[in-house]
Amino acid sequence: MGFHLSGVGLTHANGTIALQDIVLSAAQGECVALIGPSGAGKTSLLSVLGTALRPSTGRAEVLQTALTATAHAPNRALRARIGTVHQAPPIPPRQRVVTAVLAGRLGQWSAWKSFASLVYPLDIAGAQAALARVQLTDKLFARCDELSGGQLQRVGIARVLYQQPELLLADEPVSALDPALALATVRLLVQDAAARGATLVASLHAVDLALACFARIVGIRAGRIVFDLPAAQVDDTLLHALYASEGGVLPTLGPPAASDQAPPVAADSAALLSIAGCR
């Protein structure tokens, strides 16, 4: 079992209720997409799964480890088995790309090896291989503050690919990427998880991207799960109801991002999905 949540609720210190009565499970090796309007609770749910936030109520079990409001803090070994791709990767601006990628395994290495790698990269070939998967080999020794927003997102993805976690969480991982590159990158995450038998949970803004690349879709609104269905059963009626607070307008793949454009390709989303191989 990748994770199991039973009656999970989350209330922030300021009294804001982020999650309510969440019941959700995923088997090891399963890939799940989270969709829903802004402020629905998708990031909060990922934070609970990643052990960054403790549930206020209910029970959460992640990688066979129980997480409750009264449980002890998760240990380093559990955190090392979980990898998170952030929308804005928390990478020091002056850090070299190679060091940022290798940081994916700091939780798995001994203290002396982790420190040594910060001084001089210990696995340059491994970092280069991970960067090649996100088309950034030429940025191996660049400083992170020299990269565009989209390139920095891809460095964060390369870091998680290098980590090889058992549970991979992605919070809007391709928001700064060109549509074609975004599709290819999400496809890479799904394929990597499937190949390793890892569980993948991704929060995605673009509904068409989620439907095309994931077999299971979970719709969230106002901190509650609205539906949990195979992608083939998620129809327009369900989607428009899910996004009713945003006028029923479904967010989809937009025009190329100025921060990380890719060469021009087919203009419509359906053609893009076909090119990326998600269908």
Q: Which domains does the chain have, with CATH numbers?
A: 3-81+166-276 (3.40.50.300), 91-164 (no CATH)
Name the band, by pLDDT with cuts 50, 70 and 90, for residue 139. Answer: very high
pTM: 0.88
Give the model's pLDDT for residue 209. Answer: 96
Kindly report the average pLDDT of the chain as a whole number: 88
Q: Which amino acid is at 126?
A: G
Short-list 154, 110, 108, 106, CA closest to 134:
154
Using the structure block, give the residue that is written with the tokens 């992605």.
Answer: 170
Dist. CA 205–CA 129, nearest whole Å: 28
Dist. CA 203–CA 257, nearest whole Å: 19
pLDDT tens digit sequence for 221-246: 999 999 999 999 999 999 999 999 88
Q: Which amino acid is at 106?
A: L
Q: What are phi and psi of 5, to 5 degrees?
A: -115, 135
Maximum Cα–Cα distance for the chain, whole Å?
A: 56
Which tokens belong to 198? 């890892």
DSSP characters for the chain?
A: --EEEEEEEEE-TTS-EEEEEEEEEE-TT-EEEEE-STTSSHHHHHHHHTTSS--SEEEEEETTEEE-TTSPPPPHHHHHTEEEE-SS----TTSBHHHHHHGGGTTTS-HHHHHHHHHS-S-HHHHHHHHHHTT-GGGTTSBGGGS-HHHHHHHHHHHHHHH--SEEEEESTTTTS-HHHHHHHHHHHHHHHHHHT-EEEEE-S-HHHHHHH-SEEEEEETTEEEEEEEGGG--HHHHHHHTGGGTTPPP---SPPTTS------SSHHHHHHHHT--
Name the band, by pLDDT with cuts 50, 70 and 90, for residue 107. Answer: confident
Dist. CA 221–CA 244, nearest whole Å: 10
Give the model's pLDDT for residue 69. Answer: 64
Rank 113-122, 196-205, 251-260, 265-274 by mean pLDDT and report only the highest.
196-205
Give the model's pLDDT for residue 256. Answer: 47
Is 199 within 8 Å of 168 (Cβ atoms)? yes
Instruction: Provide mean pLDDT across the span 108-131.
Output: 84
Q: For residue 216, how many other CB atoms are within 10 A of its CB?
A: 16
